[in-house]
A and B are shown apart, each in its own frame.
Chain A
Amino acid sequence: MRSECPSASKLLEKYFDQEVTPEERALVEDHLPDCPVCRMSLDSMQNLRSLIKNPVEKAAREENFPWVWEKIERGIQWKERQGFWDVLKSWLDVTPLLKKKVLIPAVAVAILILVTAPLLFKKTTSYPAMSVVEYVESETYNVMIYQPENEKVTVIWLFNGPEEEVSPS
């Protein structure tokens, strides 16, 4: 038995796929009852379709998809986070030439500034300005009272004489 019928072979596959015109359909259907080769060929295509399709249909029927959606949602969020890191990476990603000529000197200057800045702008300790509030002279002691501008402390100095300091209190 021939495996292909010369009279309908071109139309048979289109007929099987339902892609024929009404006229072509009529031609094939007139031909089929008298042609066992074409009938066998149709059966063979139908068997192949079942072999390919049925396991897929069965697998799809048995599948539970809600958890797949949850994984997709998580995947999207993860990719969004990854997107931010990609941007950051691309920002930091410089060519070797740029790295050599710009990045390394820039880092060196930054380190130099960090090291020297505290030395340059170091605050010197200074005593708060004081003003003499009162000065009293007596036979035994001379007394001088100081009042700092910003502090609530009063300093009293006792002198034996005009030059000799006794003790602050």
Chain B
Amino acid sequence: MDVNEAQLISRCQQGDQEALREIFNQYHQKVYRVAYGVVRQREEALDIVQEVFIKLFRSIRQFKGRSRFYTYLYRMTMNTAIDHSRRMAKGPRLSMDEEEGIQVSDDAERRPDRILDQKELEERVKWAMDQLPPDQKACLILREVEGLSYLEIAEATRSSIGTVMSRLHYGRKKVQELFKAYMEGGR
């Protein structure tokens, strides 16, 4: 942890909201990516971002610097996102994407057939990822989306490197198999 970050965390631990804002500016993309990776819905992911930073502000005094700050934040995000997806599974709500249609960035992507393909593909990925146990899902997202090393994932998930490798291996294998089954019409 560099000196600036340590000072920022210390200020935030004393209740300085401006320090939290700086942390937010630095980390909101990472938090959003992990949240979106888990729930795969824009509105839900944004709710998780809010929840994580409010939680962080209230609980940052418990951060003693024994792990790196970003792995601490990844852990908090992952736990919040998994809790959120469990609640979603109990009572699903219509996401912003479903309400307003998929947001697209260029002309080729605006073609209706492409939109349908993308949406369908996204749904398939979400479905396959949702079949994984939370631990495997967490490892897969932290590795594939955030590109964390085995050591960083182990720190964020409070497990050993061997466990991370095993979860990644079985997680990948299961998603590939599910994806294959889906493609063959076995959903």
A-side residues, CB < 8 A to B, are: 13-14, 17, 19, 44-45, 48-49, 51-53, 55-63, 65, 68-69, 71-73, 75-76, 79
Whether B125 and A51, one on each chain, are in contact in the complex, defined by CB atoms closer than 8 angstroms, is yes
Task: Count residues of B near A (Cβ-Cβ below 8 Å).
Answer: 41
Across the interface, which residues of A come within 8 angstroms of B33, CB to CB?
56-57, 60
With A48-B175, A55-B40, A57-B33 as contacts: A72 and B165 at CB distance below 8 Å: no
CB-CB contacts below 8 Å: B83-126 with A: 103, 105, 118, 121-122, 125
Q: Which of B40, B45, B57, B165 contacts A13 (CB 8 A)?
A: B165
Whether B125 and A17, one on each chain, are in contact in the complex, defined by CB atoms closer than 8 angstroms, is no
B6 is an interface residue with CB less than 8 A from chain A: no
User: What CA separation (Å) do A72 and B79 show in the bound complex?
Assistant: 19
Across the interface, which residues of B come within 8 angstroms of A69, CB to CB?
21, 24, 28
Across the interface, which residues of B come within 8 angstroms of A79, CB to CB?
54, 58
Whether A19 and B149, one on each chain, are in contact in the complex, defined by CB atoms closer than 8 angstroms, is yes
Can you list 11 A-B pairs, Cβ within 8 angstroms, ordered by A? A13-B168, A17-B168, A51-B125, A52-B125, A55-B125, A57-B33, A59-B42, A59-B45, A60-B32, A69-B21, A76-B20
B143 is an interface residue with CB less than 8 A from chain A: yes
B169 is an interface residue with CB less than 8 A from chain A: yes
Q: Distance (Å) between the CB of B49 and the closest chain A CB?
A: 6
Question: Shortest 7 CB-CB distances between A and B: which pairs?
Answer: A52-B144, A75-B54, A49-B144, A72-B53, A56-B36, A56-B37, A59-B36
Across the interface, which residues of A come within 8 angstroms of B42, CB to CB?
59, 63
Of chain A, the residue at the smallest CB distance from B175 is A48
Q: Distance (Å) between the CB of A52 and the closest chain B CB?
A: 4
Whether B150 and A19, one on each chain, are in contact in the complex, defined by CB atoms closer than 8 angstroms, is yes
B176 is an interface residue with CB less than 8 A from chain A: yes
Whether B57 and A76, one on each chain, are in contact in the complex, defined by CB atoms closer than 8 angstroms, is yes
Across the interface, which residues of A come within 8 angstroms of B50, CB to CB?
68, 71-72, 75
User: What CA separation (Å) do A48 and B128 show in the bound complex?
Assistant: 11
Of chain B, the residue at the smallest CB distance from A75 is B54
Whether B176 and A62, one on each chain, are in contact in the complex, defined by CB atoms closer than 8 angstroms, is no
User: What CA separation (Å) do A45 and B103 show in the bound complex?
Assistant: 27
Of chain A, the residue at the smallest CB distance from B29 is A60
User: What CA separation (Å) do A79 and B50 show in the bound complex?
Assistant: 13
Q: Distance (Å) between the CB of A123 and the closest chain B CB?
A: 52
Q: Which of A17, A51, A57, A60 contacts B121 (CB 8 A)?
A: A51
Q: Distance (Å) between the CB of A127 and the closest chain B CB?
A: 64
Q: Distance (Å) between the CB of A42 and the closest chain B CB?
A: 12
B9 is an interface residue with CB less than 8 A from chain A: no
Whether A52 and B141, one on each chain, are in contact in the complex, defined by CB atoms closer than 8 angstroms, is yes
User: What CA separation (Å) do A118 and B129 show in the bound complex?
Assistant: 74
Q: Distance (Å) between the CB of B173 and the closest chain A CB?
A: 10
Across the interface, which residues of A come within 8 angstroms of B53, CB to CB?
72
Q: Distance (Å) between the CB of B95 and the closest chain A CB?
A: 11
User: What CA separation (Å) do A53 and B148 show in the bound complex?
Assistant: 13
Across the interface, which residues of B come within 8 angstroms of A45, CB to CB?
172
9 new A-B contacts at CB < 8 Å, known A49-B144, A55-B40, A71-B50: A17-B168, A44-B176, A55-B122, A59-B103, A63-B32, A68-B46, A68-B50, A72-B54, A73-B17
Of chain B, the residue at the smallest CB distance from A58 is B105
